[in-house]
A and B are shown apart, each in its own frame.
Chain A
Amino acid sequence: MDIISTYGVMLIAIAAIVGFFMAWGIGANDVANAMGTSVGSKALTIKQAIIIAMVFEFAGAYLAGGEVTSTIRKGIIDSAPFIPNPELLVLGMISALFAAAIWLAVASYLGWPVSTTHSIVGAIVGFAAFGVGMDAVNWAKVGGIVGSWILTPAISGFIAFVIFISAQKLIFDTKEPLKNAKKYVPFYMFLAGFIMALVTIKKGLKHVVKSGDLSISAADAYIYAVLAGILVALIGKFFINKIKIDPNADKEMHFTNVEKIFAVLMVVTACCMAFAHGSNDVANAIGPLAAVVSIVQNEGEIASKAQLVWWVLPLGAFGIVAGLALFGHRVIKTIGNGITHLTPSRGFAAELAAASTVIIASGTGLPISTTQTLVGAVLGVGMARGIAALNLGVVRNIVVSWVITLPIGAALSIMCFLALKAVFGVA
């Protein structure tokens, strides 16, 4: 109790710095996954990708980022065992942030595609199980996360498969692919805009409007989402009509020109992906931070329902954007040159599916990893025989990294926890 009142401001400051570090890491590395396909398929330049990512990551984090935050803060560990010792929870959350940030930095340096979500979950589970006891961990929730290793890729893979096959049926495998692309691509744009808007309205806006009683009924939400979707589709159509169709490029099938149209769509899905990523992953950095702030401000009382302090969400969003702007371009560039044979239509199917899955999951509060959804989506497009070559060796490595991230995050967090306890002299 004393520790919190004595070092309160300092603890918040440390948590904020470590949280920012974590957000920085997310921005610098994870965002490359969100934007890489667009750059790889040459739909966007690196510069454009960074600008889009900055705008939409921030928007996603700010508008739809609140729901997942609470899952990490309250869902994975049970706060009851911490009530007599709130300082343990504060130190633990700082340890968790620090551990996850370290793991993220190390893994990025080594080039391992780890899940930031699982780093933080592993870290929180680690200190809770160690510091308080196995009871403090909501093992059912952890089990749910392990289950998500299979479920999320499966869902996003399925969505990607359906999207890709539908594009085949409606556009590529028809007599006039070009004409059909012009006709149906705005519909895909509508879909992307609709999903994005729906989640923003239903899940996100209440975090912005502080009182929380922004009265939008379910029916209204759908109407607004449809309107937003139509708006996106109209803007997209405008740009499609501006494309210069090169009549000499492959006369028979016009695929080169069809891909140009998909490149416009790719811009929309890139926005969608960045938005989804921001909404889901900002929670990784700010969830624990929000918990620390809440406990300190309530003078050690672990509130059952903590109000998110106004500066926490922007801090996480800003951290992501800063990390992206300063280091993201390097990773994106590597990817942009590294991927071969990824056309806009294939990249679009993978990205839209991944974004939809993340947004849906973000709405349900399950802390899934964007890495997983993208892997699943890519596999889905591959299964539909769309991607020329999938490196299953890399897929296996990624899955292995999902599994080892939890224990490593836990171990690092236990070490940080012990160190912090020693520093602050907590028994």
Chain B
Amino acid sequence: MASHSILGVFAKSPLKALEEHIKTVHEAASLLKPFFTAVCEENWTEATELRYQISQLEKKADVIKRDVRMNLPRGLFLPVERTDILELITQQDKIANKAKDLAGRYLGRELTIPVQIQPSFMAFVERNIDATAQASKAINEFDELLETGFRGREVELVERMITELDAIEDDTDEMQISIRQQLKQIEDELNPIDVMVTYRMIEWIGELADLAERVGSRLELMLAR
């Protein structure tokens, strides 16, 4: 009905949805913390419930993503390139998918986490969630970036955030190396298939931070224009 008058020229901004999307994505990823706590305790009912919540959030993110893609008509004048927006939301969405896959895989196999590596495993998960939180924080600056016309101090602020995101990602890399070494030392005592899947899962968890970093660099590219 906004077409009722000239004010229809203010199109519904897809950028607000971008913030909404990363918020949902981050929420999904951060549920991995209680999820893996439940996995450590082998509390599978709790884990099932949490996996369900993650998958609901992933679905919600999907709806937002589709909405942005559909509601990005050609006749829209945006302060940023439309291809960048589509690319950014695709990257963001992968984080939620990865969180869902992780939960699904652990629950499906009722895969446990060896007690010896549990503390570093949980720290690793948390650090990866930090990365998605940081990406969410940076994307949430979109409002302010618009306000300043993608110039000046606000750009520096966002760039600092992205630099920090890179630092978090570096952290997760190192944690990943050390956790693999810890796992290697105890792997003889464990079920070989479980060990192989656990190696795989560690990689997947690490991908959360990689994906978050990619969101950051997408944002950086938008700033560079």
Interface of A toward B, CB cutoff 8 Å: 29, 32-33, 36-37, 40, 111, 113, 165, 168, 172-175, 250, 252-253, 255, 331, 334-335, 338-343, 345, 371, 374-375, 378, 382, 384-398
Partner of A388, one of B8, B13, B151: B13
Partner of B149, one of A250, A253, A340, A386: A386
Given contacts A385-B146, A390-B77, contact A334 B153 (CB under 8 A): no
Q: For the A-B complex with A36-B7, A397-B3 known, give 11 more contacts whose Cβ atoms are closer than 8 Å.
A: A111-B4, A172-B152, A252-B157, A253-B144, A338-B4, A339-B7, A341-B12, A342-B10, A382-B79, A388-B16, A391-B76
Q: Are A339 and B5 in contact (CB under 8 A)?
A: no
Which residues of B sit under 8 angstroms from A253, Cβ to Cβ?
A: 144, 154, 157
Given contacts A387-B10, A389-B10, contact A173 B5 (CB under 8 A): no
8 A–B contacts, CB within 8 A, in A order: A168-B148, A334-B5, A385-B150, A388-B14, A388-B15, A389-B77, A392-B77, A397-B3
Residue of A nearest to B15 (CB): A388
| Interchain nearest-CB distance for A405 vs B (Å) | 13
Q: Roughly how many angstroms separate A33 CA and B77 CA in the complex, as a whole number?
A: 20
Given contacts A111-B4, A255-B144, A392-B77, contact A175 B10 (CB under 8 A): no
Q: Are B4 and A33 in contact (CB under 8 A)?
A: no
Residue of B nearest to A336 (CB): B7
Q: Roughly how many angstroms separate A395 CA and B73 CA in the complex, as a whole number?
A: 14
Q: Roughly how many angstroms separate A47 CA and B154 CA in the complex, as a whole number?
A: 36
Q: How many residues of B contact A (CB 8 A)?
A: 34
Q: Are A338 and B1 in contact (CB under 8 A)?
A: yes
State which residues 138-159 of B face A: CB under 8 Å: 143-144, 146-154, 157
Which residues of A sit under 8 angstroms from B148, Cβ to Cβ?
A: 168, 172-173
Q: Is B11 an interface residue (CB 8 A)?
A: yes
| Interchain nearest-CB distance for A126 vs B (Å) | 24
Q: Is B193 an interface residue (CB 8 A)?
A: no
State which residues 7-38 of B face A: CB under 8 Å: 7-16
Q: Are A389 and B14 in contact (CB under 8 A)?
A: yes
Q: Roughly how many angstroms separate A378 CA and B9 CA in the complex, as a whole number?
A: 8
Partner of B75, one of A174, A371, A392: A392
Q: Are A33 and B76 in contact (CB under 8 A)?
A: no
Which residues of A sit under 8 angstroms from B75, Cβ to Cβ?
A: 391-394, 396
Given contacts A33-B5, A113-B6, A334-B4, contact A388 B153 (CB under 8 A): no
Q: Roughly how many angstroms separate A127 CA and B178 CA in the complex, as a whole number?
A: 88
Which residues of B sit under 8 angstroms from A374, Cβ to Cβ?
A: 6
Partner of B11, one of A345, A384, A391: A391
Residue of B nearest to A369 (CB): B6
Q: Are A375 and B6 in contact (CB under 8 A)?
A: yes
Q: Are B146 and A40 in contact (CB under 8 A)?
A: no
Partner of A392, one of B6, B76, B157: B76
Partner of A331, one of B5, B12, B76, B144: B5
Q: Are B7 and A338 in contact (CB under 8 A)?
A: yes
Given contacts A175-B153, A382-B77, contact A111 B3 (CB under 8 A): yes
Q: Roughly how many angstroms separate A384 CA and B148 CA in the complex, as a whole number?
A: 9
Which residues of B sit under 8 angstroms from A252, Cβ to Cβ?
A: 157
